Structure 1
Amino acid sequence: MPSTTYPDATIPDQSVYDFLFGDLAEEDLDRVVLIDGPTGNQVSYRQFVAQIDAVAGALAARGATPGTVVGLLCPNAPAFAIVFHGILRAGCIVTTINSLYTADEIANQLRDADAHWLFTVSPLLGHAAEAAAAVGLDAEHLVVMDGADGHPSLRDLIAQGAPAPEVHLDPATQIAVLPYSSGTTGRPKGVMLSHRNLVANVVQSGMVIGLTRSDRVLAVLPFFHIYGLTVLLNYAIKQRASLVTMPRFDLPEFLRNISEQRCTWVFIAPPIAVALAKHPIVDQYDVSSIDVIFSGAAPLDATLAGLVADRLRCRVRQGYGMTELSPVSHAIPVERDDISLDSIGVPLPNVECRLVDVETGADIPMPEEGVSAPGELLVRGPNVMLGYLHNAEATTATLEPDGWLHTGDIATVAADGTYYVVDRLKELIKYKGYQVAPAVLEAVLLGHPEIADAAVIGVPDDDAQEIPKAFVVVQAGAALTADDVIAYVAERVAPHEKVRRVEFIDVVPKTTSGKILRKDLRAKEREAAAAKA
């Protein structure tokens, strides 16, 4: 079926560093690239590149070589961007780590990625140090960017004055980043994204999303997430726009930054849209500078999108993607007011799409009018990952030999080429844009001595956003309450991974091979919701 209305773009055969900074013009050097939201401190493009080169030089001088994996555990701040690009400049690989992770989760990712360094900040040093010790990283390889006794700091690395190394790499095969994703199912896996993958997705996004050098972008979505990394950080840099960084979402602070910094583009996840549409405090701030609200990371409801557009008097758009796609494959073009807000838009340039029947595997044709039958969405293009780290089985299950990637999402396509995600095969829960793997929570639950069995699915909360719900079978004679279960899990996982609801059942439905029948649990939820209606 026709995949995109855009002509293919030329993807430069360059590293991320050369692509983003190799053509930096003299007149752009003193433009502001980064603004720290909490303090207002600014970094120019000239300072940015000099500090990136200094970090690369210090890493090389301290023994890091091309291909060395470096962990980065840091909330959004100018320092994140400096360190991230410094690592890539040295030819090393960055594995970005969720700032909300527990020490065990950080250690698991460092161990799986075979990371030899970890960069963090002092507020996260407790968990970082515990994780570093667990995987054998000494104090010299745990860099505390804002400084801590016994550890190198970002200032130390920059002051070292070591020249950036000469690095020669193949952009198509050299891994740049190793974000972790649960993919279509299961435990988190390292997604191998090459320099070419990241470069391609910036080029592709630039032809649809429409950010310009005169824009000021509010960066509240985390850079450790591939959405924030590619669409906010790298794409904004390439467009020579300015980024206002926020370490976490706080609605008054969010609105203050928009008002004071006159932000024109605001990238969000759907839970922020709920606040923008409904919270009375929004009316206390001047947000008239906003031109576009762009939502991603989870589906945005069309009614909610319309409420935001009407209240803020701006354009609202959404896109679609996944970590394995670097991440964007579809978006509503900024100039397309004719596309329904519940659509994921059109494929980006260089992206091919197929819909296949989930039962037969047969291709579903593009309709001449109306909307197609639903099928699993498959995507192919230069932004598709190399594969999963150390996991050939998962790679084979997700990525076809001819390059087609199974998204696990069920979609339809309209005759005008716009796509709609209508359901999903994959079990992954998207809580406020964060990925939550049911298998991880089930493993935690089964660690409780009074829990005999458990299953987790995503269910809608009162705002129609997805939350994790646990179905629990207790041991004979146990007297667990829902609050007990919620508290137990909360002590062992990151905040976004908490179980939010609990239902006690007699048996978890499973196949004869032992696989949990989540579809039966989801059907049970739908029946319960219908009974209440």
Structure 2
Amino acid sequence: MSDKVTEFVVPFGTLPHIPDDVTLPQFILDSWHPTRPVNKHGNPVLIEESTGRGVHLSEVRARTFGLANEMKARWNIGEGQVLCIFSSNHVDYPIAVWATHRLGGIVTTANPNYTADELLYQLDLTKASVVFTFSGSIAVAEDACRQAGISADRIAILDSPEGYTGPYPTLETLIQEGLSKHPQFVERRLEPGEGKTKLALLNFSSGTTGRPKAVAIPHYAVLANVIQMAYYGQANENYGTATRYRPGQVVLAVLPFYHIYGLIVVMHFYIFAGFSLVVMPRFTLEGMLNNVQRYRINHLLLVPPMIVLLAKNPIVKKYDLTSVTMCMSGAAPLSAEVTRQFCERLPNSAIGQGYGMTELATTITFPRIDMHIATMGSGGQLLQGNVCRVLKPDGTYATYNEPGELLIKGPTVALCYLNNEQATKETFLYFDGKPDRWVRTGDEVMFNERAEIFVLDRLKEIMKVRGFQVAPAELEGHLLEHPDVGDACVVGVPDEYSGELPLAFIVPSHDAQERIKQDPAETDKIKLALMKHVTDHKVHYKKLAGGVYFVDSIPKNPSGKLLRRFLRDKARELKAQQATVEKARL
């Protein structure tokens, strides 16, 4: 390797052995690892928010077996078959994931707020054969399954709503039927090394072009990330004097399990570390505050919009939040000002940020274990086993405190984008003629001498809205289907609560321009129609909350590529002008 290449690694510790011959449920439920603390507290693994019902480890194992047994008997689920979980959080969500894995199947998790079109796209791409949905999403699931060719007898309801008499079995029914049968399957042990290639998850990540892509994540990558977090966090008492990650504590599972942050960090790592997960189906501020007070929550894993509410909403002062000792923010940068305001509201709580992405399954940095308030602006310190380079625009590699694009390799790198060879080649790279796969993140970062990352900007075009990825190209393609749109460019504009909001620059079609000439009132009608066009077909965080602006042309380079940066600057100017006008009215 050239001496000119600076590689960033955490300056202490060596990552322990990562088993490559076990599946996720075998690792979490059945086996031992030196980074795992001995839990002497007897606390439940899962707690149902509404009732307080606790589910202990022995019951988790039994319910996982029962569900797997019935899935085999009823649907003959086996090696490589895909199950889609289209649901809000529920105490049986982990059961559904691990039961699928017991059978050798693959799980793809879908946002329960998706429209039928969005769910259909995911079902078609992953070739899912069974769908578990939530009682509140049945109609959408039925519509998407019908179009995908999934028969109605392969739909089940994850929750058990009171008085439910519908045609679909609930998971509770499936579990009890499975427990009443003799074993219908023999769970196999993976061959040595097989865990590195055997798919566990197909999670979706937005790219710079087109619709979201399915990230192929093997079992090994997830359990490697769990080990990384446990080792760095000193979860095992033998590792030192840190007390942040200790068995018997309680974490609020409010982040959605369909998102990689909630799925791997909350569901897998925190169960591995011996915490009880209070499972919250949907986020509301009052609901979260009630749960913190009722269940004496110790750890909060949140995204910046949630922390903004904790820091600024006056209702927070009405609740006892003294039990909270740690808050981790992820999915988008958290400002120093909001961090300071949070610390005033919850002085007992440490706070820090982590950085990760779906293609890295999941976290590559974690909040400093030795700091109560992490370094302001830092996205956390590298976890052991990760190696980073920072590529400058001139093609050379940056050293400490120099900005550039983040490239990373480590044990958690995903395999590829499913059925998307071009995107895979653009993101998963090979250097120096070696077999290591590097991920090109598209984020502009820099590192200090303590291996703390500072995320400066996104070089890729993805927006982050409330922590969720939104691809401009997806919205542009949808807008161009509307007859009133001649050309379109979508950019993100800064927003204190959401991080960014999608804003569309539109060149009206010839027909639309003629109507506007005849009647200027058509301008507002067309803008509202375009916003509705997106709202009706896309999940709520993709709506054009930043607005619609008409322009004469969309700036492009000679090859036709959108010059998005110019319009981002224009959008900021428009928002600044709007803020000035609104301030003058007050």
TM range (shorter): over 0.9
Task: From the superposition, tell whether residues 71 and 202 of structure 1 become closer, same or farther in structure 2 (CA, over 3 Å).
Answer: same
Q: 1:354 aligns with which of 389, 394, 414?
A: 389
Task: From the superposition, tell whether residues 212 and 395 of structure 1 become closer, same or farther in structure 2 (CA, over 3 Å).
Answer: same
Counterpart AA for 2:57: Y
CA contact (8 A) 1:6 1:348 kept: no
1:99-498 alignment, distance < 5 Å: 99-145=112-158, 146=160, 149-160=166-177, 161=179, 162=181, 163=183, 165-169=186-190, 170-183=194-207, 185-209=209-233, 210-313=244-347, 314-337=349-372, 339-357=374-392, 359-366=393-400, 372-401=401-430, 402-463=436-497, 465-475=499-509, 476-478=513-515, 479-481=522-524, 482-498=527-543
Task: Indicate the percent of aligned positions where both proteins have the same amino acid.
Answer: 37
1:11 matched to 2:18? The reply is: yes
Q: 1:21 aligns with which of 23, 29, 43?
A: 29
TM-superposed deviation, 1:522: 1.3
Task: From the superposition, tell whether residues 51 and 363 of structure 1 become closer, same or farther in structure 2 (CA, over 3 Å).
Answer: same
1:509 matched to 2:521? The reply is: no
| Unmatched 5+ stretches in structure 1 | 367-371
With normalisation by structure 2, the TM-score equals 0.86
CA contact (8 A) 1:184 1:408 kept: no
TM-superposed deviation, 1:54: 1.1
Q: Deviations over 1:329-388 (max 9, x none)?
A: 11222322474131012111100010011x33221123xxxxx22100011001110111
The equivalent of 1:43 in structure 2 is: 55
Q: Count how many residue pairs are aligned between Structure 1 and Structure 2.
A: 527
| Unmatched 5+ stretches in structure 2 | 1-6, 234-243, 431-435, 516-521, 581-586
CA contact (8 A) 1:216 1:264 kept: yes
For the aligned residues, what is the CA RMSD?
A: 2.0
Counterpart AA for 1:477: E
The equivalent of 2:567 in structure 1 is: 521
TM-superposed deviation, 1:528: 4.5
The equivalent of 2:8 in structure 1 is: 2
Q: Deviations over 1:42-95 (max 9, x none)?
A: 211111111011111122223111110110111111021211111112211000
TM-superposed deviation, 1:279: 0.3
TM-superposed deviation, 1:415: 2.6
CA contact (8 A) 1:412 1:421 kept: yes
Counterpart AA for 2:514: G
- Of 513-522 and 335-344, more deviation after overlay is shown by 335-344
Tell me, in whole angstroms, the C-alpha distance in 1 between the residues paired with 2:108 and 2:437: 24
Task: From the superposition, tell whether residues 268 and 240 of structure 1 become closer, same or farther in structure 2 (CA, over 3 Å).
Answer: same
- Of 104-113 and 514-523, more deviation after overlay is shown by 514-523
1:57 matched to 2:69? The reply is: yes
Q: Deviations over 1:20-62 (max 9, x none)?
A: 0113799769531111212322211111111011111122223
TM-superposed deviation, 1:148: 5.3
TM-superposed deviation, 1:201: 0.5
Task: From the superposition, tell whether residues 429 and 343 of structure 1 become closer, same or farther in structure 2 (CA, over 3 Å).
Answer: same
Q: Which has the higher Rg, Structure 1 or Structure 2?
A: 2
CA contact (8 A) 2:210 2:477 kept: no
Q: 1:89 aligns with which of 86, 94, 102?
A: 102
TM-superposed deviation, 1:245: 1.1
Q: Deviations over 1:173-218 (max 9, x none)?
A: 1000001111455420100000000000111111234422121000
TM-superposed deviation, 1:525: 2.8
Q: Deviations over 1:455-512 (max 9, x none)?
A: 1111112547211111111122242423332222111111111111221111111223
SS at 1:303 equivalent? helix
CA contact (8 A) 1:29 1:46 kept: no
Tell me, in whole angstroms, the C-alpha distance in 1 between the residues paired with 2:399 and 2:541: 39
TM-superposed deviation, 1:2: 3.4
Counterpart AA for 1:2: F
With normalisation by structure 1, the TM-score equals 0.95
Counterpart AA for 1:386: L
Task: From the superposition, tell whether residues 185 and 336 of structure 1 become closer, same or farther in structure 2 (CA, over 3 Å).
Answer: farther
CA contact (8 A) 2:328 2:367 kept: no
Counterpart AA for 2:379: I
SS at 2:342 equivalent? helix
